Copies of this chain bind each other. A is one copy, B any other.
Amino acid sequence: MTETVTGSKSEQAYAAVKARIVDGAYSPGYRLVLAKIAEDLGFSVVPVREAIRRLEAEGLVTFERNVGATVSGIDPTEYLYTMQTLSIIEGAATALSAPLIGAADIARARAVNAEMRDCLEHFDPVRFTRLNQDFHSVLFERCPNPHILDLVHRGWNRLASLRSSTFRFVPGRARGSVDEHEALLRLIEAGADADTIEKAARQHRAATLDAYLSQAT
């Protein structure tokens, strides 16, 4: 955690722009001008350009030749596709992690879930969302397949970047979500087979998506 300014400038630029997108400082549709970003960061355009192209490969920005880059994801169907993809990856990641999750992990997840329940009482959607991420991180982090883990994280980032424009907290759904978390933990504790866990985890996210959609209508 002694993050000492990190490595190359292209990586710094990548991290900086990515953070701004994920945090919502750059909203979808925001136009990313290379020269401007370079000036803001005090770098030259070359490393910034590289950073932008990397973000493009991750789907966070859209790039058009001789025109420039914009933060992608204005389209609401985009959100649906991202959620669907993430539900598949997450389900698999959770199922693969499950056999490796120990009692300490379960306890940690329960603590997070308790905090989430607390957020329901005091209506704190922002904190709730962050805790939700923490909860699922516990369920993923033991996943032995690095590719899948990477895809999960990319999905989360992508979702976060879209969230600022599309996300709406659904209180009614949130309560059910917390209960499903507990159910998931019980399945894992009980050593349920991978298929059951995968399906439950996927369903969990699908239900959240449905809640968003029904509210949007």
Given A81-B147, A88-B88, A145-B81, A57 and B54 touching (CB < 8 A)?
A: yes
**Most chain B beta-carbon contacts within 10 A, residue among A57, A88, A92, A145:** A88
Q: Which residues of B contact A145 (CB under 8 A)?
A: 81, 84-85
Q: Is the CB of A85 within 8 A of B151?
A: yes
Q: Is the CB of B7 within 8 A of A59?
A: no
Q: Is the CB of A81 within 8 A of B146?
A: yes
For window 47-64 of A, CB contacts with B under 8 Å fall at: 49-50, 53-54, 57-59
Cross-chain contact of A88 among B50, B53, B89 (Cβ < 8 A) = B89
**Closest Cβ neighbor of A57 among chain B residues:** B57
**Closest Cβ neighbor of A85 among chain B residues:** B147
Q: Is the CB of B147 within 8 A of A82?
A: yes
A8 to B56, CA, bound (A): 16
Decide yes or no whether A213 CB sits under 8 A from chain B: no
A182 to B121, CA, bound (A): 55
How many residues from A make CB contacts under 8 Å with B?
Answer: 24
A53 to B7, CA, bound (A): 15
Q: Is the CB of B50 within 8 A of A148?
A: no
What's the least CB distance linking A67 to chain B, in Å?
A: 12
Decide yes or no whether A41 CB sits under 8 A from chain B: no
| In the A-B complex, the 10 residue pairs with the closest CB atoms | A57-B57, A85-B147, A88-B92, A81-B145, A81-B147, A54-B57, A85-B148, A7-B65, A50-B53, A84-B145
Q: Which of A's residues lie within 8 Å of B, judged by CB?
A: 7-8, 10, 46, 49-50, 53-54, 57-59, 65, 81-82, 84-85, 88-89, 92, 145-148, 151
23 interchain pairs (CB within 8 A)? A7-B65, A8-B65, A10-B53, A50-B50, A50-B53, A53-B53, A53-B54, A54-B57, A57-B57, A59-B147, A81-B145, A81-B146, A81-B147, A82-B147, A84-B147, A84-B148, A85-B147, A85-B151, A88-B88, A88-B89, A88-B92, A88-B148, A151-B151
